[in-house]
Structure 1
């Protein structure tokens, strides 16, 4: 399955007033190679294993495969992950006809807020909320696999 998305930095937290749902996420990487990443994630009381391929040149499209796994197995797999575990709270906001997923990072990445929105195609035009600061699509510095080894506190 192809994932087509754009990423942005949020300039403030006014999106919290529009949040429909929020949940805690912990995730780590079993493999963070530039060619592919293998991620383990817990989201509330569920576990997931995700494999992502390399992004295209624009950074908007890449292969993604995700499978729900038992929560206790995800907890055990997190113990095998590289470097450290990413902690974040994901907020879901509906704006216009799009769902925006806003990740507010904690721990070593505290202060970083990344917004993702999935698209139907790479050239789709979307209306952006006023709490968006700048686009960071394709900038590997804002990939979760990057900040799991190069935390925001060290930037």
Structure 2
């Protein structure tokens, strides 16, 4: 139940031509404390509840537990979430043996596009696509839970 991932800014929208899937995501946070984040998400036609623990010092690894719930339950729980609900489209792009998840944000986070890649171990090597920009792994302001309380438009 450990999640190992790295995050990057995206330079341009050329990644869309490589996307193998695209889903609209709406998510909110019942708890955005970095020690124990509780997220509610609707992705496409599915609902999820996710608990994340505190990240390691590099920001690459943390505990993650996720369970699918009904969209009705997710919609009800979203009404209980902290202030800003995040809306984005997630694109999946296959690059070698990895999948990059690229999020294009809307609303108060309009203009922000980030990519993340999940890895099997922290030092795993992967191919970086040309549209991948600056690495922001471990930069707390780029965590979705922080974007809900301090959105991109306020930077």
- Assess same fold via TM > 0.5: yes
The unaligned stretches of length 5 or more in structure 2 are none
- Once the two structures are superposed, residues 28-83 of structure 1 have per-residue CA deviations (whole angstroms, 9 ceiling, x without a partner) of 00001120100000011110000000000010000000000011010000000001
Structure 2 distance, partners of 1:37, 1:47, is: 17
Structure 2 distance, partners of 1:68, 1:3, is: 17
User: Which residue pairs with 1:2 in the alignment?
Assistant: 2
The Cα of 1:97 is off from its aligned counterpart by 1.3
Structure 2 distance, partners of 1:104, 1:86, is: 11
The Cα of 1:127 is off from its aligned counterpart by 1.1
Query: What is the Cα-based RMSD across aligned positions, in Å?
Result: 0.5
Structure 2 distance, partners of 1:114, 1:5, is: 13
Structure 2 distance, partners of 1:127, 1:43, is: 27
The answer to whether 1:62 aligns with 2:62 is: yes
Task: Normalising by structure 2, report the TM-score.
Answer: 0.99
Structure 2 distance, partners of 1:135, 1:70, is: 34
Structure 2 distance, partners of 1:139, 1:116, is: 13
Structure 2 distance, partners of 1:75, 1:110, is: 22
How many pairs align?
155
The unaligned stretches of length 5 or more in structure 1 are none
